[in-house]
Amino acid sequence: MAHFQARIYVTLRPSVLDPAGVAVCSGLHQLGYEAVESVRIGKYIEVALDAADQGDAETQLDQMCDRLLANPVIENYRFELNELAST
Amino acid sequence: MAHFQARIYVTLRPSVLDPAGVAVCSGLHQLGYEAVESVRIGKYIEVALDAADQGDAETQLDQMCDRLLANPVIENYRFELNELAST
């Protein structure tokens, strides 16, 4: 059994409108940052989990993202996996 | 003038409770992913901007994070900066 730390990035698909990002972009313009061209907002999720090995952890994380963490219809996800310790 | 793409990660400080993360952790347990130990949720923000050079872009991004994108009282942020094109 090994202990893993995953960093998951969930982003809206490029074709999906991001009203929150547009609002933040407009807010930055109002604060004087006119050089900002676009803003897209996503989620960043850190998950600590135990798994038999790297492959097992990746399989579990793919399922978690598809079932709960991301909405596959409008979002993409990717993750990085670090092994912290094995016992 | 150069064009930059920044990836900003905003996370709650480790000492700050994350009720949303606890709820997602509990949801994952209910879906059968008992091996998940903890979940922390943050924000992932992509910003496209123009700046004179790398240093100028970093200065602007630091200010944007402090003033709008992150709450420095309870959140940390870090960013990666990629130069896409210079004119």
CATH code for the domain in which residue A18 is found: 3.30.1280.10
Name the amino acid, one letter, at B20: A
B29 phi, psi to nearest 5 deg: -60, -45
The range of the structural domain enclosing residue B67 comes to 2-86
CB of A5 within 8 Å of a chain B CB? The answer is: no
A-chain CB neighbours of B9 within 8 Å are 44
C-alpha to C-alpha distance for A33 and A36, rounded to whole angstroms: 6
| B63-86 pLDDT per residue, tens | 999 999 999 999 999 999 999 977
Number of domains in chain A: 1
CA atoms within 13 A on the CB side of B48: 9
A17 phi, psi to nearest 5 deg: -65, 145
- pLDDT score of B87: 66
With 0-12 / 13-18 / 19 or more C-beta atoms within 10 angstroms meaning exposed / middle / buried, residue A51 is buried
Residue with tokens 């993360």: B21
| B31-62 pLDDT per residue, tens | 999 999 999 999 999 999 999 999 999 999 99
pTM of the model: 0.91
C-alpha to C-alpha distance for B40 and B24, rounded to whole angstroms: 9
Q: Which residue of B has its CA nearest to A50?
A: B35
